[in-house]
């Protein structure tokens, strides 16, 4: 399956399979602490192998060497983290060290890797289909979040997707909006920094998604909608802290179902922070207040424009 259109169609077929109400994915208990996405070649092993291969070089050389392959390793408080998206696309295999080693490990991680979820072959197959068109998802697997979160970024992302797909309002969306929201969910935390609070990730993830989505052969309108959702998936926090006014949100999110999709995403995102809905319960009232206020302003604005 090398053709991008074939991969894209496989991706959308996979998402349709995952959204079936009687399917495996929507009926999984993702709150189970034992649930884990495993890789044949883990992210941790990849980081360690790359670090070992380039350890003797200066920091500048390390960045130059890995930068050729689209990523860097950063050391923070004695922890090595991965930033970027390893790839050997459009690169020829090098014979000189350390490029040969880096090429080998990147190829293993991105092109020859496989996901496995013990006891769930259906979801295993779905996620392996997703990484064929969206290999950047591999960089989120096992990535730790700030201690407020009970889930790693990959599990959190799946739990958000599950929450979105089981929302009754999602079920009433037209297919094109469902596809946009599905894709936005998968990419909404893609740049999130490991183990720390990262307020910049909605904007950074949106920018990276704009580049990644070029591979999906989408129209400008489709791509713009997905990036808008990613960029504003933190709207509730900005509304609650009065960083952005309800009127400003209403003006930016007035088109189509954009704000409805963001409300669906915000609810699922909150529920996917801590087990048992603890984090959601803390903010559900302000979510309902913000949704009502902004929706009312959008409705007024649309009536005025029609008049």
**What is the spatial distance between Cα 106 and Cα 108, in angstroms, rounded to a whole number?**
5
What number of other Cβ atoms are within 10 A of residue 215's Cβ? 15
**What is the spatial distance between Cα 216 and Cα 240, in angstroms, rounded to a whole number?**
35
Spell out the domain ranges in the chain: 4-34+122-306, 41-113
pLDDT, position 92? 87
Per-residue pLDDT of 104-145, as tens digits, reads: 999 999 999 999 999 899 999 999 999 999 999 999 999 999
- The answer to whether 102 and 69 have CB atoms below 8 angstroms apart is yes
Give the pLDDT mean for 261-281: 96
Q: Is the pLDDT of residue 2 over 70?
A: no
Q: Is the pLDDT of residue 32 over 60?
A: yes
Per-residue pLDDT of 177-213, as tens digits, reads: 999 999 999 999 999 999 888 999 999 999 999 999 9
Please name the residue that has the structure tokens 């996979």.
14
- The answer to whether 152 and 143 have CB atoms below 8 angstroms apart is yes
Would you state the structure tokens that stand for residue 176, as one six-digit string? 């094109």
Per-residue pLDDT of 213-227, as tens digits, reads: 998 888 999 999 999
Q: Which long-range contacts (CB under 8 A, 24 or more apart) does 269-275 make?
A: 269/160, 269/163, 269/188, 269/233, 270/236, 271/159, 271/163, 272/151, 272/156, 272/159, 272/160, 272/163, 273/148, 273/149, 273/150, 273/151, 273/156, 274/148, 274/149, 274/150, 275/31, 275/150
Per-residue pLDDT of 54-109, as tens digits, reads: 999 999 999 999 999 999 999 877 789 999 999 998 888 878 889 999 999 999 99
């Amino acid at each position: 399956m090398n053709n991008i259109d074939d991969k894209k169609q496989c991706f959308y077929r996979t998402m349709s399979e995952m959204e079936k109400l009687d399917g495996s994915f929507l009926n999984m208990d993702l709150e189970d602490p034992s649930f884990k996405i495993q890789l044949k070649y883990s992210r941790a092993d990849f980081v360690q192998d790359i670090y070992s291969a380039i350890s003797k070089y200066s920091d500048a050389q390390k960045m130059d060497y890995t930068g050729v392959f689209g990523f860097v390793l950063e050391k923070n408080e004695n922890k090595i983290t991965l930033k970027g998206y390893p790839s050997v696309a459009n690169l020829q295999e090098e014979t000189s060290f350390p490029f040969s080693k880096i090429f080998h490990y990147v190829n293993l991680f991105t092109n020859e890797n496989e996901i496995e979820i013990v006891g769930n072959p259906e979801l295993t197959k779905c996620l392996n289909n997703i990484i064929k068109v969206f290999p950047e998802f591999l960089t989120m697997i096992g990535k730790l979040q700030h201690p407020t979160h009970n889930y790693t970024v990959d599990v959190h992302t799946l739990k958000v997707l599950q929450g979105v797909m089981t929302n009754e309002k999602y079920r009433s969306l037209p297919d094109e909006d469902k596809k946009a929201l599905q894709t936005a969910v998968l990419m909404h935390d893609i740049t999130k920094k490991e183990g720390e609070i990262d307020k910049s990730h909605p904007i950074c993830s949106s920018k990276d998604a704009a580049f990644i989505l070029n591979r999906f052969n989408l129209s400008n309108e489709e791509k713009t909608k997905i990036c808008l959702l990613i960029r504003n998936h933190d709207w509730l926090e900005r509304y609650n802290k009065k960083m952005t006014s309800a009127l400003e949100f209403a003006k930016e999110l007035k088109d189509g179902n954009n704000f409805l999709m963001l409300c669906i995403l915000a609810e699922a995102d909150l529920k996917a922070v801590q087990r048992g809905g603890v984090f959601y319960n803390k903010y559900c009232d302000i979510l309902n207040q913000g949704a009502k206020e902004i929706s009312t302003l959008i409705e007024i604005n649309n009536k005025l424009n029609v008049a």
